[in-house]
Every structure is written in C-alpha cells, then in structure tokens.
Chains A and B, each alone.
Chain A
Amino acid sequence: MKVSRSISHGAQYTALVDLLCATIGIFVIVFALQDLEPPQALQPAPYDHLVICDAGRALTYNGRNTDQATVLGDEDLGNGRLMQELAGGGRVLVALAGDCLVQDEGPSVAAQLREIEEDLSDRPATDASPLTLFEFSPLGQDDNGADAIRARFLLGDMP
C-alpha cells in the first residue's frame, strides 16, 4: 500500500523529468555539434557581367557563362538590349576608355551607362527583385587593357 502510493506520487513528476532530460539532451547535442571556426575575411562575390567600352567607343559585353564576347552598338544602350542582359542582377564591371567619357553628338557612353545603372538600381523597398551593383573602372593598356581584363574576368581572378 505504501509502495504503491510512493510510486503514484513519483509518477506525477515523470513527465516533467522527461521534459527536462529531453531539453538537457538537446543542449548537449547542440554543444557537441559546435565547432570552433575562426572568423574569416569576407570575400566579394565575383563579377557576373563585364561591359567594356574600348577606344573608339567599341562596346562589348561578356556574361559569366560564355567565353564569347557580344559586340554592341551605340544604339544598344538606348534600346534596352544591354539592360536586358544585365537585368538578371549581380555585379557588373564597366571598363571605360577615355573616348567613352567624351560627348560625341549625343551623350557619352559613360553617361548612358549611368542611366542604365539608375534604372536597374531603382527598385521599391518591398520588391524582391535581384540587386544589380555597378562598378565603373578606367580602361588602360597592357595589364589593365581590354583583353587582360576580359581574361581575368573569365578566370574569376578579379579583386
């Protein structure tokens, strides 16, 4: 009689002890799965698009997945063809030679690319559209020339 009463009273706490043990088990497992990981330097994402405006306003476009450069005309800046290529989002590297900074009858190539940047960057706060990040760089010769930059872009060897 006494034993059965003790068991019945002890059984009142069985669920609580079970709950506590389960919680402890979760903590132990979480602790056991932890691994010390030193903080790593964040690396920028690789460029997804490359637009080169070489001497003589020669425009080319390279995507990340194709080795073949697409030759663009001046009209492609305004008719939406380049914007369509860039609409997928990602990092865009624009390399500009000196000729592309100068106005020639119409607005300069640099100014038209800035308009495309503004159009693609303008997005409502609630929209989950992909982010397009432009970086404008000057185009030089040799190591900083069009061919060298294109080769580094295709290799993914850019800072």
Chain B
Amino acid sequence: MIGLGFSKKRAVSYPDSDVGMLDVAANALAVLILATMLVLTVAAPPAPLGEVRSSDRPELFYPSPLDVEVPPQSIYWIVTERGLTLLDLDGFATGLSGGSPVARTAQGEATLIIDRRNYRDLNDHRLQINLDWTAITGSAISLATLHDAAIASDDIRQRFEQGGIVPSFVVTAGGTEAFSSIYWNLRRDQVPMRWVPIVMQTPLVLSRRVDNFETRARQWQ
C-alpha cells in the first residue's frame, strides 16, 4: 500500500516535502518492527525446571553411533524391612532371550507371556516374577539408620544424574517406614520416581497393555 502510494505520488510529481514525513515515519516503523522480530527471535523463553535439564541434554550428532550396550532407563528396587534390594532384571532377560518363557535366577522365577495384537501397533506383555523373598531380604542394603538411607539416596540420585536412570520402588508393608527417608530425600533432590506397594509372598507383575496408553491418557496430560 505504501509503495503504491509513493509510486503514485512520484508519477504525478508532487513535491518531495509532502511525503518526507511519511517516508521517515514508515522507515522508523519498519526499523521498530524488525527490532521487535529480532528481540522475539533471540530472547529465550524461560525453561521450566524439572522437565528437561539443559546440562543433561545430549548433543545432536550424525551419523548416530551404534550403542554396544544400551543402559536401562529404569531400575527396580525391592524395599523390605531388611532394606533395599536391586532387582536383577538383566538376569531374567538373559534367561528369556533364548526363547524360553521361563527364566530362573537367584532372586526368583520369571514367566513372560506375550500377546501379539494384529490390529494394533503394539503387543501386550506380562512378566510375572515369583520372588525368592529369602534371597531378596538376605541381599538387602540396610536402611536401619538415616545415614544408611542418605547413602542409598545419593547412589540413586547419581544414577539419575549421570545415566538418566529413574528408580521404581516395590515396597512391602514392613519397608514403608525405612523407605520414607529415601522418598523425601529424592523428592528434595528432584529425582523422578514411582513406588508401588506389594504384599510379600505375592508375585510381582510387570505388564504393558493397551489400557496403559488409553485409559490413563487423560491423567497423563
């Protein structure tokens, strides 16, 4: 519009003094708009704390190297009244990798059931672990004192900060009291975690179903 106006003005040869002010004003406005766009582009929005840690964000690279060993993103701790025990899922996975539906380790026996869904892009699976509670409590890291709990919390925090490994706790009724120190330590350190109760002598079931993605979708938003 402004350009057309200038052309028209020049075509009928009006004096330049008539459009001088208009020219200055239009140029000043253009500079201001450019400055605004520059500020909006350069200024970084405030990053929310706890979502993505800038120091932990991996650099983009290409081509991506092949990881010989993929670290786990989550580990499972069994909490009993005797303390913390790390669940050796790798041991169960090794036993299941040959195609056998059952794997046995010193910590118990795991049974894997896979239900293939032809009409969906994901399969259901269910891993039922019958834990050997004697072995679990026998190899537990003691949480008898606050100092013990602080050491265990620091270990879990370092796993998260260095390896991005998030803990899941399976807590028995007897281990609840000792677990409370770890829980609040990790909350203070902003380490994401989850915990579920379990009754001793009952199997631990890890499963994935379509329901996980559909019925809880609203709660995850």
Tell me the A residues contacting B by CB distance below 8 Å: 6, 9-10, 13, 16-17, 20-21, 23-24, 27-28, 31, 39-42, 96-99, 101-103, 108, 110, 121-123, 125, 136-141, 144, 159
Contacts and interface: CB of A to CB of B under 8 A. Distances in A.
Contacts of A122: 218
Contacts of B181: 140, 144
B14 A97 contact: no
Q: Which range holds the interface residue count of chain B?
A: 35 or more
Contacts, number: 97
Contacts of A40: 46
A73 B83 CA distance: 32
Contact of B176 (A6, A96, A121): A96
A139 B22 contact: no
A68 to B, nearest CB: 25
B25 interface: yes
Nearest to B19: A13
Contact of A159 (B47, B184, B195, B219): B184
Contacts of B101: none
A76 to B, nearest CB: 21
Nearest to A134: B219
B46 A24 contact: no
A139 B176 contact: yes
